Structure 1
Amino acid sequence: MATTDTLPDKKYTDSLQTEVDAAFLYERIAAAEEVPAIARMFRELGAIEHEHATKMEAGLRSKGIAVALPPPSWRARLLDRIGKTFGYGYVIGVLLDTEKSISAAQLAQKEKSHIPISGDEANHVRILQTLLNNKIKVTGEHISRIEGKHRTIGGNALRAAVLGANDGLVSNMSLVMGVAGATDGQSGVLLAGMAGLLAGALSMALGEWISVKSSQELYERQMALEMLEIETNPEGEMRELALIYIAKGIPEAQAHQMAAAAILDTEHAHEILVKEELGINAEELKGSAWEAAIMSFILFAVGAILPVIPFFYASGYAAILQSLAFSALGLFVIGAAITLFTGKSIWFSGFRQVLFGLAAAAITYGIGKLIGVSIAG
């Protein structure tokens, strides 16, 4: 008779945690979804993941491995919070990546064990891709809702925030260490650090302003052309819209009916065609280029200020060591934040970020030291 005193391997606990987190997030997405048909699909996915978790727990216990269903992890709860704030489109993308990893692991294990492949291993991947590719056979309004969620900028904004702070920290830390190497942490380091912060932040802000503004102007021009086409050739646009619906898997007769109904209202037809044909999310046009520029400036500056702080009140090697400590802490936090996208261990990602950042600092410090010695000599 099997005993239950064997401690589980990390691979078992990680797999069980993955299933529990997926069930939790599917349920949270379903709770936030306004369309009943779509909410039901996510709720069913959550129920399946919960069933997987309970069966996995029972299977491990039958093998004498002591394990219990864990609560949702901090990462899952944080992703839920991000979904509530920015929209669940990014969270769905994370779940899709998770399902792909699980599917690949199942296929590899079956091939290794010479177990026939059933074709069901990637079912969840196909379901999520169907949702994200807008191929669910519901009304045109529902399709637009899915597309809007898929194109939400929340995940991109979060990623930009992390990477913006990382760029500011690594670039300014490298600059500060280079000047510190040349001057032994004495005169000029604070001035160089603040100059690097302002120059980098202003450059990032200007780049972001130009990017957002040019995108908005391009989209507005495309939308104006689309409206002109609707007004001058409504029959052709109706046929295009019908073909788009057919490509999404809607029956041909229903697709033509939906297109004919939509084209009767010019504004409504324009809204659908902008979204369906041009792939433009009108919500993105509401964003302010100045707001994006200011946020870019702040995020870069938050990272860039960390290596400079000690030089406000200290100098020499004491300031250099404190600067490295501040920078290492910031790098670890950024590495930990990156795990929201990768799903890797916080410690692995955090220390990897610290290692690469400090390696860059060491190189620039060494170069600065050589330059300082050459100038002094």
Structure 2
Amino acid sequence: MGEHHYIHRTGWLRAAVLGANDGIVSTASLIVGVAAAATDRSGILLAGVAGLVAGAMSMASGEYVSVSSQADTERADLKKERAALDDSPEVELEELTQIYTGRGVEIALARRVAVQLMAHDDLGAHARDELGISETLSARPVQAALTSALTFSLGAALPLAAAALLPVGQAIPGVSLTSLIALAALGALSARAGGANIFRAALRVTLWGAMAMAATAAIGALFGRVV
């Protein structure tokens, strides 16, 4: 039975964690900042809903554009590599051989391996071992966009629900506490899914979330006094 590795999850896990974390932090910070300016419940909820919708769309478009750029670069490199394989197969064979010898394989064996891999799938061998492009790590723009938008919305819904259910006077501590607990849980879950240290991941995301909410609360309070 083959070993189970976490690397196969990196494509969707990165987008999911980024979306959920951003949804919680940005929406909670927005709500806390608006609440600190002494706005009524309707204003707080309006700001939260606007932040959820705008943030989800921004995450989706940002992920799609950035990952599409990565995909375009991968396609360009593969096209260039295909042309090199067609024009100079012996040069490319030697290049692959040198890659394997650089990893510690004996020269004769490295050449035999290179010959066999290129006979099976020459472009795939060079994409994987020369360019570092593989099916597992290849760019998927639509998957990244949808994952980020969905997880951002789910993350943003938590502080928004807290703001809707709590009295206006308790919005700041209630939303802050709810969001920090959610961030700690997100950090722990993402670390578990990725095989990382749970405590370190939870502490990392919670710390940054607390800093963001503290900053927006201070700005909101200052703005409220000035206005």
Structure 2 unmatched runs, 5+:
none
Per the normalisation by structure 1, the TM-score is 0.53
Offset at residue 225 of structure 1 (A): 1.4
Task: Kindly indicate whether residue 184 of structure 2 is the aligned counterpart of residue 329 of structure 1.
Answer: no
Residue type of the alignment partner of 2:2: A
**Matched residue, 2:2:** 32
**Contact between 2:36 and 2:221, CA under 8 Å: does it hold in 1?**
yes
Q: Which has the higher contact order (CA 8 A, sep 6+)?
A: 2
Task: Kindly indicate whether residue 98 of structure 2 is the aligned counterpart of residue 246 of structure 1.
Answer: no
Q: 1:323 to 1:185 in 2, by over 3 A?
A: farther
The aligned runs of 1:238-317 (5 Å cut-off) are 238-263=93-118, 265=119, 268-285=121-138, 288-313=140-165, 315-317=167-169
1:180 is aligned, of 30, 35, 42, to 35
**Secondary structure at the residue paired with 2:144?**
helix
**Contact between 1:184 and 1:317, CA under 8 Å: does it hold in 2?**
no
Larger Cα-atom Rg? 1
Offset at residue 313 of structure 1 (A): 4.8
**Contact between 1:185 and 1:315, CA under 8 Å: does it hold in 2?**
no
Q: 1:355 to 1:239 in 2, by over 3 A?
A: closer
**Matched residue, 1:36:** none
Offset at residue 272 of structure 1 (A): 0.9
In the alignment, the residues of structure 1 paired with residue 94 and residue 15 of structure 2 have an alpha-carbon distance, to the nearest angstrom, of 39
In the alignment, the residues of structure 2 paired with residue 178 and residue 241 of structure 1 have an alpha-carbon distance, to the nearest angstrom, of 56
In the alignment, the residues of structure 2 paired with residue 245 and residue 353 of structure 1 have an alpha-carbon distance, to the nearest angstrom, of 40
In the alignment, the residues of structure 1 paired with residue 61 and residue 133 of structure 2 have an alpha-carbon distance, to the nearest angstrom, of 24
**Contact between 2:12 and 2:144, CA under 8 Å: does it hold in 1?**
no
Q: 1:201 to 1:257 in 2, by over 3 A?
A: same
In the alignment, the residues of structure 2 paired with residue 246 and residue 342 of structure 1 have an alpha-carbon distance, to the nearest angstrom, of 32
Q: 1:185 to 1:330 in 2, by over 3 A?
A: farther
Q: 1:342 to 1:252 in 2, by over 3 A?
A: closer
In the alignment, the residues of structure 2 paired with residue 319 and residue 371 of structure 1 have an alpha-carbon distance, to the nearest angstrom, of 17
The aligned runs of 1:10-159 (5 Å cut-off) are 31-33=1-3, 83=4, 88=5, 90=6, 152-155=7-10, 157-159=12-14
In the alignment, the residues of structure 2 paired with residue 160 and residue 370 of structure 1 have an alpha-carbon distance, to the nearest angstrom, of 34
Write out per-residue CA displacement over residues 251-309 of structure 1, whole angstroms, 9 at most, x where no aligned residue. Answer: 2122223333444x3x6122211211111114444x64222101111112222221111
Q: 1:210 to 1:253 in 2, by over 3 A?
A: same
In the alignment, the residues of structure 1 paired with residue 113 and residue 208 of structure 2 have an alpha-carbon distance, to the nearest angstrom, of 55
In the alignment, the residues of structure 2 paired with residue 283 and residue 369 of structure 1 have an alpha-carbon distance, to the nearest angstrom, of 47
Offset at residue 164 of structure 1 (A): 2.8
**Secondary structure at the residue paired with 2:132?**
coil
Offset at residue 185 of structure 1 (A): 4.2
In the alignment, the residues of structure 1 paired with residue 109 and residue 202 of structure 2 have an alpha-carbon distance, to the nearest angstrom, of 53
Structure 1 unmatched runs, 5+:
1-30, 34-82, 91-151
2:17 is aligned, of 162, 172, 176, to 162
In the alignment, the residues of structure 2 paired with residue 352 and residue 221 of structure 1 have an alpha-carbon distance, to the nearest angstrom, of 37
Offset at residue 186 of structure 1 (A): 3.0
**Secondary structure at the residue paired with 1:228?**
helix
In the alignment, the residues of structure 2 paired with residue 356 and residue 245 of structure 1 have an alpha-carbon distance, to the nearest angstrom, of 42
**Secondary structure at the residue paired with 1:306?**
helix
Per the normalisation by structure 2, the TM-score is 0.83
More helix by share: 2
Offset at residue 182 of structure 1 (A): 1.1
In the alignment, the residues of structure 2 paired with residue 281 and residue 32 of structure 1 have an alpha-carbon distance, to the nearest angstrom, of 19
Task: Kindly indicate whether residue 53 of structure 2 is the aligned counterpart of residue 201 of structure 1.
Answer: no
**Secondary structure at the residue paired with 1:277?**
helix
Count of paired positions: 225
